[in-house]
Amino acid sequence: WGAPTPATPAPHSGVNTWATNLAGNYGNYAYCKLTSPQIDLNGFGFQYLTFYHWYDMESSGSNPTRAYDGGNIQVSTDHGNTWAILTPEGGYSHTVDAASNPLHQKKVFSGSSGGWRRVVCDLTPYINDTLTFQFQFGSDLNTTRLGWYLDDFAVVGVINDTPVTNISLMTPLDSTIWLPHRIDFYWTDAQDPDIGADIRYDLFYRTDSVWRAQTRLRDHFTSVNLADEQWAFTDTLVLDWFVRVSSQSDTLYSPDTFRVILPPRSLWPMSSFALINPPADTVILDSSTTISFSWHPASDLDIGTTMQYQLNIASDADTLTWYTGGDTTHWIGLDTLATLGLDSTGFDWWVRAVNATESRLADSTFTFFIDHYVGIREDELPKSFDLSTAYPNPFNPTTRFKVSVPHQQDVTIIVYNILGQHIRTLVNQNMLPGYHELTWHGLEENGRQVSSGLYFVRMQTQDFHITRKIVLLR
């Protein structure tokens, strides 16, 4: 730091500047560091580092992206214990190629700046951190130049002083009588325009003198499962609730506290429940011997209630029912499903929960399909992997493919749209050798129908891939 000599560049402003050498060239094997004091960015929004630099360093004459000498900027968030390279807007110009340079293979400024140039580094990722900056310069074993000059270093930020907006409670409304087993709480979304604002919510609720809480929530909604609270529910309970919102140094409370009426458990209905496996519109290889069916349990707050389940599977031909007792998982062999006709276009399955006083169907009915596997003699196995052209094509609403598998291997078959976006995975499993028949019903992963248009079906194994075009006309 100081005033440069006439043989070196004048400062960008004032009379002093930082430099690798104020009086001439840097030396061979140089490794110079300039470290800033710690700078606290807490309470600021948009922030950036800015400085001016002038440099003349040895770069490669044969490769415009490689350098022998150069410098870069580092940043530390732990008081200098560890460092990371800070990338400026526009990036660095070179990478150090010389193994004798301490910055070997690092991104650097090098070559000639052609005068004083302004550099800007975005510090948004470091909002609310305490930072230390370090300029480091390295050279190789020969050919020195004037080096690196730095001036007008500054960290610029915008103070975050806009208060967070308050919220309003939405549901359950005040004085609501609530019967479902789970209370879903909603409130309006708070806003904080300050850059880097981190809005969090705390839900407080109680049925007695003790407040319970769900804290540090990011969403403006949450749920409380009443069965988990271990409340007696022998009589009517009154639940009070409110929300606290915080962002940086701001803390506000909802202006109201709402009250929810919870009747005794004898009046509560059975809870809803959902199916799990096989998911909606799953394709199952009929080389499998069994299919696993599972669902979430239903619940009832009545003490001593015993839950029983009925599993139902239906095709166009018939419906079969299994009584699984209290189990929420049941295995069924494909030979059993054969009585429903394995050539069916699809099988619907659903579950009914039953106790002594009521019954309830699962939230939805799922459909699954059977991929027909053709067992053949070993000397008749396919010679190679293949995915046939679709038939029919164009199609509406269903098309089929034949899949050839010469030996057991993991196979994926995926449908993409014309933009290359993933539409549906038809197969993602280990397939036995032989010929398989696969059906696509024109549905996305979530079960929605796709629109008319061109689609691509891609089959891929470890060492093979093929893509077929199909057209859906609705």
Q: pLDDT of the chain along its 474 residues, tens only?
A: 899 988 889 999 999 999 999 999 999 999 999 999 999 887 665 678 999 999 999 999 888 899 999 999 999 999 999 999 999 989 999 999 999 999 999 999 999 999 999 999 988 788 778 999 999 999 999 899 999 999 999 988 766 566 778 889 999 999 888 876 789 999 999 988 765 677 899 999 999 888 999 998 999 999 998 877 777 777 888 999 999 998 877 888 999 999 999 888 777 778 889 999 888 877 776 655 688 999 999 887 665 678 899 999 988 767 889 898 899 999 988 777 776 665 555 788 999 999 888 889 999 998 887 765 554 455 578 889 999 999 999 998 889 898 999 998 999 999 999 888 999 988 888 888 888 888 888 888 877 889 999 999 999 998 899 999 999 997
Q: At 41, list the tokens.
A: 């960015």
Asked whether the beta carbons of 458 and 413 are under 8 A apart, the reply is yes
From CA 224, how far away is CA 182, in angstroms rounded? Answer: 6
| CA quadruple 331, 333, 334, 338: dihedral sign | negative
Give the pLDDT confidence score for residue 45 in this predicted structure.
59
Please state which architecture CATH assigns to domain 375-472. Answer: Sandwich (2.60)
Give the distance, in angstroms, between the CA of residue 29 and the centroid of all CA atoms in the same chain.
Answer: 46
Report the predicted TM-score, pTM, of the whole model to 2 decimal places. 0.43
> Could you give the residue range(s) of every CATH 2.60.120.260 domain in the chain?
18-159
Asked whether the beta carbons of 260 and 238 are under 8 A apart, the reply is yes
Give the pLDDT confidence score for residue 302 in this predicted structure.
64
> Could you give the residue range(s) of every CATH 2.60.40.10 domain in the chain?
169-267, 275-371
Rg (CA), the chain: 34
From CA 295, how far away is CA 361, in angstroms rounded? Answer: 11
Q: What is the dihedral of CA 312, 314, 320, 325, to 10 degrees?
A: -10
Give the pLDDT confidence score for residue 16 in this predicted structure.
94
- Name which of 126, 158, 130, 156 is nearest 51 in CA terms: 156
Give the pLDDT confidence score for residue 441 in this predicted structure.
85
First vs last C-alpha separation in the chain = 75
| CA quadruple 107, 109, 110, 111: dihedral sign | positive
Strands 347-354 and 308-314: antiparallel
Give the distance, in angstroms, between the CA of residue 56 and the centroid of all CA atoms in the same chain.
Answer: 45
Q: At 319, list the tokens.
A: 């419906």
Burial of 217 per CB tally in 10 Å (0-12, 13-18, 19+): middle
Q: Say if domain 275-371 classifies as CATH 2.60.40.10.
A: yes
Q: Across-strand partners of 184?
A: 223
Asked whether the beta carbons of 167 and 186 are under 8 A apart, the reply is no
From CA 241, how far away is CA 250, in angstroms rounded? Answer: 21
Q: At 462, list the tokens.
A: 């470890």
From CA 349, how far away is CA 335, in angstroms rounded? Answer: 17
From CA 107, how far away is CA 93, in angstroms rounded? Answer: 8
Q: What CATH homologous superfamily does 18-159 map to?
A: Galactose-binding domain-like (2.60.120.260)
> Residue for token digits 């499993």?
429
Rounded to 5 degrees, what are φ and ψ at 238? -115, 120
Rounded to 5 degrees, what are φ and ψ at 296? -75, 150
> Could you give the residue range(s) of every CATH 2.60.40.4070 domain in the chain?
375-472
Give the pLDDT confidence score for residue 329 in this predicted structure.
94
Give the pLDDT confidence score for residue 76 in this predicted structure.
95
Burial of 255 per CB tally in 10 Å (0-12, 13-18, 19+): exposed
Give the distance, in angstroms, between the CA of residue 238 and the centroid of all CA atoms in the same chain.
Answer: 39
CATH number of 169-267: 2.60.40.10
CB neighbour list of residue 158: distance below 8 Å, 6 or more residues apart: 44, 45, 46, 47, 195
Q: At 434, list the tokens.
A: 């032989």
Geometric angle at alpha carbon 133, from 131 and 137, rounded to 5°:
160
Q: Across-strand partners of 55?
A: 148
Asked whether the beta carbons of 322 and 310 are under 8 A apart, the reply is yes
Asked whether the beta carbons of 272 and 352 are under 8 A apart, the reply is no
CB neighbour list of residue 279: distance below 8 Å, 6 or more residues apart: 366
Cα→Cα distances 183→53, 73, 187, 438, 454, Å: 61, 53, 13, 43, 45
